């Protein structure tokens, strides 16, 4: 054996026996820090895994690699060690797995064929179906029907969120004709529920990694994963609100909308044009709305806040109290997040899109199923029901009879003339209508002007539009086809 090779082998042996066992024995650690330190920490540790926050206690919970912990220790930041490695706080036992979700959705569609229809909206990296349920009364023929979307589990470890979506399905289907409000909603609205945006990641949570967050995007045979809620094309990689490192929990993906799960949601939103949306996440007990980047102007922010307050009043937190969820944008409450579904839905389609982060720091991602599952979903009902109720009240409701493509822009006269529903997009402010010709936007009191354009008919008009009080009351604009 050559001398140099011998040295190299000794070196390899040395590294193997000393470095690798050390790494293997020290895994990620969970700590709490002062929430005010979060932004400071993000500067030095841009890829930290923020699990959630506890605003009443003023704490943020993080999961750090040994290297990150060493960096943290050198930064003179106070922290409290919560969990030693390899000691999961709770298991995901009891929570639904991907195949069980699909089975339950299909059963619901079969048992309530007058109300529910199963739709596969896409396939994942591992070819799992991404299932959705469309829920509306087929007996009632009020048209058009505005749509509301509820989606859960962009992030795999947030197992309680799927339970909330499944509870929405059960409540709507079982309470139709029993509960007058549910009957009214399903006669006049179309509700879409996607209980698991990220079934591949969730399978991994159940099989091997309780803290897996991303999908299972694979590179050179290794599962790396993309954070689906940093992969949307709107503002992708625009404000340091995601990572370009594969290992990061907020890895944004190689290109905007690179992931099939993201693409499935983009296609769904574009095809149904929902009036409003809730994306359920966990944990933190907060309600978020666009935009995810600091300094980015949301022209409809007052409206977002007023509707968030309605939900806030009805949601009950893990301590049993109502009205405690914090409201704000990601940079207001935490820090920048770019490429999120909220920003995409609002800017591209004018959706009143919210994120609700359920459960507290005490419960984390995997609350004990027996103790917390039913309690949590029951305590969330007031939130999504408040949204359906608000969508049913004051709104601009216009429907065009034409089959041609209609483009619109809505202005609110407020302190002079102000464009309200452009999503802040001055480059391409015109939006296309829903496939059924409906424009449905819950708005604040005020004077509104609709500017619409039908290219095939050469029509370009400004009209003043009233605010309708209820879902049966539409301004019909007849146009010849
Ligand atoms: Zn999440």
Name the residue among 289, 276, 323, 280 with its Cα closest to residue 443: 276
Distance, CA of 28 to CA of 35 (rounded, Å): 20
Calculate how far, in angstroms, residue 263's C-alpha sits from the geometric centre of ligand 1.
18
Burial of 153 (C-beta count, 10 Å sphere; 0-12/13-18/19+)? buried
Q: What is the pLDDT of residue 17?
A: 36
Calculate how far, in angstroms, residue 30's C-alpha sits from the geometric centre of ligand 1.
17
DSSP 106-145: HHHHHHTTTTEEEEEEEE-TT--EEEEEEE--SS---SS-
Q: Which residues surround ligand 1, an ion (CB under 5 A)?
A: 155, 281
Q: What is the pLDDT of residue 39?
A: 79
Q: What is the pLDDT of residue 429?
A: 73
Calculate how far, in angstroms, residue 139's C-alpha sits from the geometric centre of ligand 1.
37
DSSP 57-105: TTEEEEEE-HHHHHHHHHTT--EEEEE-TT--SS--TTSPPHHHHHHHH
pLDDT > 60? residue 18:
no
Burial of 96 (C-beta count, 10 Å sphere; 0-12/13-18/19+)? buried
Q: In degrees rounded to 5, what are phi and psi of residue 64?
A: -115, 145
Distance, CA of 338 to CA of 241 (rounded, Å): 5
Calculate how far, in angstroms, residue 303's C-alpha sits from the geometric centre of ligand 1.
24
Calculate how far, in angstroms, residue 413's C-alpha sits from the geometric centre of ligand 1.
37
The pLDDT-based confidence of 85 (bands split at 50, 70, 90) is very low
In sequence order, the 6+-apart residues with CB closer than 8 A to the CB of 286 are 53, 55, 325, 326, 327, 328, 333, 356, 357
Q: What share of the chain is helix, strand, coil (3-state, %, to 5)?
A: 35, 25, 40
The tokens describing 267, both together, are: 């296609």
In sequence order, the 6+-apart residues with CB closer than 8 A to the CB of 327 are 286, 287, 289, 305, 308, 309, 312
- What's the mean per-residue pLDDT of the chain? 90
Asked whether 342 and 329 are in contact (CB, 8 A), the reply is no
Asked whether 161 and 358 are in contact (CB, 8 A), the reply is yes
Mean pLDDT confidence for 457-480: 92
Calculate how far, in angstroms, residue 467's C-alpha sits from the geometric centre of ligand 1.
35
Q: Where are the domains of the chain?
A: 3-83, 98-391, 396-477
Calculate how far, in angstroms, residue 400's C-alpha sits from the geometric centre of ligand 1.
38
Helix (H, G, I), strand (E, B) or coil at 425: coil
pLDDT > 70? residue 284:
yes
Calculate how far, in angstroms, residue 281's C-alpha sits from the geometric centre of ligand 1.
4
The tokens describing 481, both together, are: 């086809």
Asked whether 365 and 206 are in contact (CB, 8 A), the reply is no
Calculate how far, in angstroms, residue 278's C-alpha sits from the geometric centre of ligand 1.
12
Task: Give the tens place of pLDDT for each residue, 19-54.
Answer: 333 333 468 889 999 998 887 888 788 888 999 999
Mean pLDDT confidence for 418-446: 82
Domain 98-391 belongs in CATH node 3.40.630.10: yes
Q: Using alpha carbons only, give the angle 427, 237, 355 rounded to the nearest 5 degrees.
A: 85
Domain 3-83 belongs in CATH node 3.40.50.300: no
Compute the residue count for the chain.
Answer: 481
């Amino acid at each position: 054996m050559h001398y140099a090779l011998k040295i190299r082998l000794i070196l390899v042996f040395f590294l193997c026996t000393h470095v690798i066992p050390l790494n293997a024995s020290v895994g990620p650690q969970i700590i709490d820090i002062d929430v005010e330190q979060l932004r400071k920490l993000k500067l030095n540790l841009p890829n930290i895994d923020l699990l959630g926050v506890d605003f009443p206690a003023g704490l943020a919970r993080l999961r750090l690699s040994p290297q990150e912990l060493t960096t943290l220790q050198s930064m003179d930041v106070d922290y409290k060690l919560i969990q030693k490695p390899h000691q999961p706080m709770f298991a995901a036992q009891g929570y639904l797995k991907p195949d069980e979700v699909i089975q339950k959705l299909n059963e619901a569609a079969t048992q309530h064929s007058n109300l529910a229809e199963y739709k596969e909206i896409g396939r994942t990296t591992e070819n799992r179906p991404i299932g959705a349920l469309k829920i509306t009364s087929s007996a009632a023929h009020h048209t058009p029907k505005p749509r509301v979307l509820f989606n859960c589990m962009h992030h795999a470890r947030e197992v309680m969120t799927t339970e909330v979506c499944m509870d929405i399905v059960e409540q709507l289907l079982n309470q139709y004709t029993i509960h007058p409000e549910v009957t009214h909603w399903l006669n006049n609205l179309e509700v879409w529920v996607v209980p698991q945006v990220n079934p591949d990641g969730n399978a991994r949570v159940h099989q091997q990694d309780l803290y897996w967050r991303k999908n299972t995007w694979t590179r050179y045979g290794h599962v790396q994963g993309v954070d689906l809620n940093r992969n949307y094309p709107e503002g992708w990689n625009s404000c340091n609100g995601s990572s370009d490192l594969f290992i990061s929990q907020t890895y944004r993906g190689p290109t905007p909308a690179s992931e099939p799960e993201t693409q499935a949601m983009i296609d769904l939103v574009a095809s149904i044009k929902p009036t409003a949306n809730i994306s359920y996440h966990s944990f933190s007990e907060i309600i978020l709305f666009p935009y995810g980047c600091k300094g980015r102007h949301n022209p409809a922010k007052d409206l977002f806040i007023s509707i968030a307050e309605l939900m806030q009043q009805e949601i009950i937190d893990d301590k049993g109290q109502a009205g405690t969820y914090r409201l704000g944008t990601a940079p207001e409450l935490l820090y920048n997040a770019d490429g999120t579904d909220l920003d995409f839905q609002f800017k591209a389609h004018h959706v009143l899109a919210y994120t609700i982060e359920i459960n507290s720091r005490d419960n984390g991602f995997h609350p004990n199923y027996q103790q917390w599952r039913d309690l949590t979903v029951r305590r969330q009902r007031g939130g999504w029901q408040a949204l359906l109720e608000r969508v049913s009240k004051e709104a601009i409701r216009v429907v065009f009879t034409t089959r041609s493509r209609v483009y619109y822009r809505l202005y609110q006269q407020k302190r002079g003339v102000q464009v309200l529903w452009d999503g802040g997009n001055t480059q391409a402010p015109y939006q296309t209508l829903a496939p059924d010709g409906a424009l449905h936007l819950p708005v604040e009191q005020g004077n509104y002007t609709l500017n619409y354009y039908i290219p095939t008919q050469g029509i370009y008009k400004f009209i003043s539009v009233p605010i309708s009080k209820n879902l049966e009351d539409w301004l019909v604009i007849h146009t010849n086809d």
